Each structure stands twice: as C-alpha cells, then as structure tokens.
Amino acid sequence: MLFFRREKYDFYKLLLQQAEKTLEGLAALKEFIDEPSSARGMRVDDLEKEADDLRRIIINAINESLVTPMDREDIFALSRAIDDMIDYAKTTVEEMVLFEVETNEHLKKMAQSLYEAGEDIVKSVSHLEKKPRIAEEHLIRAKKTENYVEHLYRQALAELFKNNDVIAILKTRELYRHLSNAADRGDEAADIIGDILVKSQ
C-alpha cells in the first residue's frame, strides 16, 4: 500500500514573508504620500499583488496540512489581518489619485506611524516561534502605535471639519479612514499574535 505524505509547511516562515511584504507595501505607501507619483503608486499596487500571492500560499498550506504548529484559525486570521493592512494601503493610493487629493502633513504622519506599526508586527512574527517574550514586546509596541494613529486620525478630522468645502471634506476623510482602518488591522494582528502566545504556554 502506498502512503502519500503531505508536504510540511513552515508557517512561521510563511507568515513572516507575508508580514515583510506588507511592510514593503507600507514603506511604498509612505513614499507615495510623501511625494506622490504614478511610479510610486504602481509600486504599492505591485506589492499588494505580491502580498496577495503570499496569502494564497498560506491558505493553500492550511488546507493541505493535517497538523499545524498553532491553531489553523489563528494562522488564517493573522494572515488576513496582515493582508488587510496592505489592502488599505492600496485603496489609499487609488482614491488619492482618483479623488485628486493632495498630500498633507496629517496623511504623512499617519503613514509614517502605520509603517512603524508594521515594523513591530514583522519583528513580533519573526520571534513568534522561539522568542515569545520579544514577540510580546513588539506586539505591545504595535498596539501603542495603533493608538497613536487613532489620535492622529482624530486630529486630522478636527482640522478637516474646519473646511467649508464639503466635497473636499468627504474625499479627504476617506483617505484618513483608510489609514485608520489599516492601523486597526495592525492592532488586530497584534491581538492574534498575543492569543497564539498564550495558547503556546
């Protein structure tokens, strides 16, 4: 009788690759917002597609694995939260171009802080398997940065609503909201990492 072995996937490595690709996307977003150009916008789009490919690999690996090193639901949820971060980065670029919204200091600060949150997500994932305490330190930092992004978001809205141009308010608010949502997904990713760490103890 023949027995077919299922391929063994390194989920820690796969999640790290996805997180790193997302961080590349957040860096590209920051560069685009600092100085918008079609080339920089396309860079974000390309990285989002590459990140989608990595997510599909993870989903396929989950489906093909009999045993996973952590709950498969947590793997799926963490991958989804990380993917959502770069999805919102892409949407921000698309609508900034479509709505013809000029960059401003609020967008720049939010994009910078979002990138910093992404850095800590990457570092947390990189230490998830062998250095849980360090992973926890970075997830806490990521959550603090998300709180700061929400602070920046409220500040940006407060200034925006002083404008009398309703159309400009609606357009710009959407961009602020996308960046806020991206930060929310980073916070969700940090929470899922925390759950994984608790379950592994």
In the chain, what percentage of residues exceed pLDDT 90?
93
In the chain, what percentage of residues exceed pLDDT 70?
97
What is the arithmetic mean of pLDDT over 101-107?
97
The half-sphere exposure of 172 on its side-chain side, counting CA atoms within 13 A, is 24
Q: Residues with Cβ < 8 Å from 192, sequence gap 6 or more?
A: 74, 77, 78, 81
Please provide the CATH number assigned to the domain covering 11-200. Answer: 1.20.58.220
Give dist(CA 29, CA 52) in Å, integer: 16
What is the arithmetic mean of pLDDT over 69-82?
96
With contact defined as beta carbons under 8 Å apart, do 98 and 167 qualify?
no
Torsion sign, CA atoms 104, 110, 113, 114: negative
Give dist(CA 46, CA 143) in Å, integer: 27
What's the pLDDT tens digit per position in 111-153?
A: 999 999 999 999 999 999 999 999 999 999 999 999 999 999 9
Provide the whole-model pTM.
0.93
Give dist(CA 52, CA 38) in Å, integer: 21
Question: Which residue has tokens 């398997």?
Answer: 129
Give dist(CA 186, CA 122) in Å, integer: 11
Every domain of the chain and the residues it spans: 11-200
What's the pLDDT tens digit per position in 165-181?
A: 999 999 999 999 999 99
Query: Is residue 183 scored above 80 in pLDDT?
Result: yes
